[in-house]
Amino acid sequence: MEVEKKLINGVVKALNVLYGAEMPTQNIQLQKTKKEFAGHLTLVVFPFLKISRKKPEDTAQDIGNFLKQEMPTVIADFNVVKGFLNLVISSESWTELLCQIHQEEQFGIQPVTDKSPLVMIEYSSPNTNKPLHLGHVRNNLLGCALSNVMAANGNRVVKTNIVNDRGIHICKSMLAWLKYGNGATPESTGIKGDHLVGDYYVAFDKHYKEQVNELMAKGMSEDEAKNEAPLIKEAREMLVKWEQNDPEIRGLWKQMNEWVYAGFDETYKALGVGFDKIYYESDTYLEGKEKVMEGLDKGFFFRKEDGSVWADLTAEGLDEKLLLRSDGTSVYMTQDIGTAKLRFNDFPIDKMIYVVGNEQNYHFQVLSILLDKLGFEWGKSLVHFSYGMVELPNGKMKSREGTVVDADDLVAEMINSARTMSEDKINKLTDISEEEAKEIARIVGLGALKYFILKVDARKNMLFNPEESIDFNGNTGPFIQYTYARIRSILRKAAEANIVVPKTLNEPTEISEKEISLIQMLAEFPTVVKQAGNDYNPSCIANYCYELVKEYNQFYHDFSILREENENKKLFRLILSESISNIIRTGMGLLGIEVPERM
RNA sequence: GCCCCUGUAGUUCAAUGGAUAGAACUACGGUUUCCUAAACCGCCAAUCCGGGUUCGAUUCCCGGCGGGGGUACCA
């Protein structure tokens, strides 16, 4: 960081002195030198040709000479290849940089104060009629990681969840439970609450389909049969009763939702995600109606003959959008408006981020415009963090076809295979307790899952391959965790030998190109964190951690650390190792992935 | 039909408009007197097609083709 800053300032000065031109620092491209060339940092001089009025080679040569004269302690040497000025940075500069990084408590993390911008991040947002599945897992992991990243970039973050706890889908589960449940409870059956409720949702669908088929056999059209089946009619009646506050229905509703929440809490806990504030749709949908009526009064919206309320967005290049049905009930959009109102009352939100799948891109485009019209300051700038679908090796995940992957099953399976795969290795650690072995399996299994999902660019559809994710080789979570554990092992051994890793290095030492390359990578960490925040994309942090670990493994293979005889060099390598392990821990921590001290 | 996203080795993923497009998995071949071999090294292999912008394009723009999603009383 420091090195780069010095160089950029140097280049500005060079351009000024040599060509008498002012160049803003953003226009100066300093990049890592490619492996095939000598040097550490490369200046691209093409953008300066207009002001230098010389050939690329000559311009690069001029600047190189100037820099070397200007800062002889930093620039050891340089070479010119076409329009690229490759700078060789002195060993002392690198060592100094490493010590700076090593001394910083929270390298790459921006402090947060009371005055920092307040960012609210909504994620998870489940329905209460069925358990969480793989799609929710991606949502939760992204939401959690993004929250960490935004906080690391100096924002006050409020994590929020909007629970879709009312509507026809809940009534379906309730109805099926009444009809076929025989009073089953999570306690009486031993089934996790969300799964129990989900089972009745499935039961409803099964019986409903049977009824539809019967009606069709009697000569009804499919659409008609779907509308006329007794079960769906009953469910609708139930929804009306719910809206009318029927005490019996409300009681059952409350009861079943409690079961589901208890189940969700377990899943959230297992995944390691959480929220600062939870909103429930049953509290927000009426607020939404109110807000829509307010907009209608102010003339932002209009009413059609059948009584339905609409927003005309044709001026914005979109269609007309329904806000209230003709029977006065609310739709999805209405509820989101209501939730926005409550949130704004509760928090002085500067920026709102919704973590929601990309099938709802259009919805959020519309929501942004509507909120803006209704006077929410953050409406226009709301961010829809839109992510792609998760597919499986054997095809797509479709709930109708029964190919959904349940979140709880998935987590349990990952932890199981982590245990199996590491069994013989864990036996190597003779002093390990059963408890610790279990904990390691949990960390590794979850790490595998999280890393595999988070390393992919969020907006792309992805393929989740459980076997590949838990591989201990390759670009995987376990591989990074394993390398971390090995570094920690070395540091433990050093401590046992009474070697204290110093804060800084007193005497200079010679360092190799591999070591420089590692220091250089460490120095990039803050930039990576910033990028993740600017692009709302945690994946670059994952890939950064992997690159760092790979580089370290090569170094580890080629050089000894504890057996190094030169005392000063040994200390240098320990400082380097400790810094690397710290950054791996921080980086993985931003992704919500734990790293084990040993495995 | 219209709108949005997407297209990179056999496969899964990378690459602020920069040098010979990187990894990983798989296949094959090597490396253990070595701090955790759960490591390391080697080898084969790709930018969907056609234009444009420029010193330079996987990246930006236009036109095709392929994949995914949305498209108003589902959430």
For strand B, which nucleotides have at least one atom less than 7 Å from a protein CB? 3-7, 11-16, 18-20, 23-26, 34-36, 38-41, 55-56, 68-75
Chain A 296-315, CB < 7 Å to strand B: 304, 306, 308, 310
CB A422 within 7 Å, strand B: yes
Closest Cα to residue A256, out of A171, A136, A335, A161? Answer: A171
Reading the block at residue A531, the tokens are: 């990028």
Residue A332 is assigned to a structural domain of this protein: no
Q: Judge whether residue A553 contacts strand B, using its CB and a 7 Å cut-off.
A: yes
Compute how many other C-beta atoms are within 10 angstroms of the C-beta atom of residue A297: 9
The residues, ordered by sequence, that sit 6+ positions from A189 with a Cβ below 8 Å of its Cβ are A196
Please classify residue A247 by burial: count the beta carbons closer than 10 Å to its beta carbon, then call 0-12 exposed, 13-18 middle and 19+ buried.
Answer: exposed
Confidence of residue A50 (pLDDT cuts 50, 70, 90): confident
* Range from A104-108, A256-260, A421-425 carrying the lowest mean pLDDT: A421-425
Complex ipTM:
0.94
Dist. CA A231–CA A300, nearest whole Å: 39
Instruction: Tell me what the pLDDT averaged over chain A comes to.
Output: 91
Provide the pairing of β-strand A309-312 with A301-303. Answer: antiparallel
Query: Quick one: pLDDT at residue A224?
Result: 84
Q: Cβ of residue A390 near strand B, that is under 7 Å?
A: no
Å between A451 CA and B66 C1'? Answer: 30
Is residue A349 domain-resident? no
Spatial distance from the CA of A358 to the C1' of B6 (Å): 12
**Residue with the two structure tokens 């408890």:** A435
Output the distance from A419 CA to B41 C1' rounded to whole Å: 30
- Separation CA A396–CA A373 (nearest Å): 39
DSSP string computed for A294-318: HHHHTTSEEE-TTS-EEEE-GGGT-
Closest by alpha carbon to A130, among A274, A242, A267? A267
Residues 521-550 of A with CB under 7 A from strand B: 539-540, 543, 546, 550
With a cut of 60, say whether residue A440 has pLDDT above it: yes
In a domain, A467, yes or no: yes
Does this model's pTM top 0.80? yes
Burial A18-45 (b: 16+ CB within 10 A, else e): bbeeebeeeebebeebeeeeebbbbbbb
Contact flag, residue A486 CB and nucleic strand B, below 7 A: yes
How many helices and strands (H and E) does chain A possess? 21, 14
Q: State the Cα angle at A33 between A31 and A37, rounded to 5°.
A: 155
> Residues A297-312: pLDDT tens digits?
998 999 998 899 999 9
Residue A543 resides in a domain: yes
Decide which of A37, A63, A89 is a domain's last residue: A89
Among the ranges given (A178-192, A276-290, A319-333, A342-356), the one the predictor scored with the smallest mean pLDDT: A319-333
The nucleotide whose C1' lies nearest the CA of A324 is B73
**A43 CA, B56 C1': Å apart:** 15
Check whether A573 has a pLDDT greater than 80.
Answer: yes
Burial of A161 (0-12, 13-18, 19+ CB in 10 A): buried
Of A48-62, A109-123, A411-425, A568-582, the least confident: A411-425
From A71, A89, A107, give the residue that closes a domain: A89
Could you give the CA distance from residue A210 to residue A232 in angstroms, rounded to a whole number?
Answer: 12
Nearest nucleotide to the CA of A386, by C1', is B5
Instruction: Specify the residue for token string 């669908």.
Output: A205
Our measurement of CA A134 to C1' B22, in angstroms, reads 30
Per the CB < 8 A criterion, the answer to whether A30 and A4 are in contact is yes
pLDDT at residue A398, rounded to an integer: 55
Please indicate, yes or no, if residue A213 is contained in any of the structural domains: no
Q: Which residues in range 214-253 of chain A are in contact with strand B, contact meaning CB within 7 A of any of its atoms?
A: none
Give yes or no for CB of A376 within 7 Å of strand B.
no
Contacts of residue A558, defined as CB under 8 A and 6 or more positions apart, other chains included, come to A514
Cα–Cα dist A519/A576, whole Å: 8
Nucleotide closest in space to A531 (CA vs C1'): B16
Is A332's CB less than 7 Å from nucleic acid strand B? yes
Residues with Cβ within 8 Å of A241's Cβ and at least 6 positions away in sequence, in order, are A249
Question: Is residue A330 assigned to a domain?
Answer: no
Q: Which nucleotide is closest, CA of A423 to its C1'?
A: B38
Is A354 (CB) below 7 Å from strand B? no
* In chain A, residues 59 through 98 whose Cβ sits under 7 angstroms from any atom of nucleic acid strand B: 81-84, 86
| 3-state helix/strand/coil string of A312-356 | ECHHHCCCEEEEECCCCCECHHHHHHHHHHHHHHHCCCCEEEEEE
Residue with minimal CA–C1' distance to B13 is A456
The CATH number of whichever domain residue A60 belongs to comes to: 3.30.1360.70
Q: Is the CB of A557 under 7 A from strand B?
A: yes
Distance A474 CA to B25 C1' (A): 7
Instruction: Give residue A402's pLDDT band: very low, low, confident or very high (50, 70, 90).
Output: low
Question: Per-residue pLDDT tens for A213-237?
Answer: 899 888 888 878 888 899 999 998 9
- pLDDT single digits (tens) A358-376: 999 999 999 999 999 998 8
CA of A361 to C1' of B4 (A): 7
Question: Which residue range is the domain that position A572 belongs to?
Answer: 407-590
pLDDT at A599: 86
The nucleotide lying nearest A418 (C-alpha to C1') is B38
Can you tell me the mean pLDDT for A521-526?
94
A362 beta carbon < 7 A from strand B?
A: yes
Q: Is A335 within 7 A of strand B by CB distance?
A: yes
| Band (A426; pLDDT cuts 50, 70, 90) | low
Which of the listed residues A38, A71, A89 is the one where a domain comes to its end?
A: A89
Which residues pair with residue A15 across a beta bridge?
none
Question: Å from A426 (CA) to B16 (C1')?
Answer: 43
Q: Among A47-61, A98-112, A145-159, A423-437, where is mean pLDDT lowest?
A: A423-437
Q: For A396-402, what is the mean pLDDT?
A: 53
User: Does A397 score more than 70 pLDDT?
Assistant: no
- As a whole number of angstroms, the distance between CA A372 and CA A377 comes to 7
pLDDT computed for residue A396 by the predictor? 57
Q: Is the pLDDT of residue A23 over 70?
A: yes
Q: Report whether A86 contacts A39 (CB < 8 A).
A: yes
Our measurement of CA A477 to C1' B57, in angstroms, reads 34
The 8-class DSSP code of residue A33 comes to: P
Residue A555 lies in a domain: yes
pLDDT in tens, A524-563: 999 999 999 998 989 999 999 999 999 999 999 989 999 8
Half-sphere exposure of A208 (CA within 13 A, CB side): 20
Q: Are strands A462-463 and A390-391 parallel, antiparallel or unpaired?
A: parallel
Q: Protein A279 CA to nucleic acid B51 C1', in Å?
A: 52
A528: domain CATH number is: 1.10.730.10
A17 confidence band (pLDDT: 50, 70, 90):
very high
d(CA A483, C1' B38) / Å = 9
Report the percentage of chain A scoring pLDDT > 90.
Answer: 70
Taking each helix axis from N to C end, the angle separating A193-217 and A247-271, rounded to the nearest 10 degrees, works out to: 120
pLDDT of residue A399: 52
Q: How many domains does chain A have?
A: 2
Q: Is residue A11 part of a domain?
A: yes
Query: What DSSP assignment string belongs to A359-401?
Result: GGHHHHHHHHHHHHHTT-TTTTT-EEEEE--EEBTTB---TTT
The reply to whether the CB atom of residue A568 sits less than 7 A from any atom in nucleic acid chain B is: no
User: What six digits make up the tokens of A341?
Assistant: 């109102």
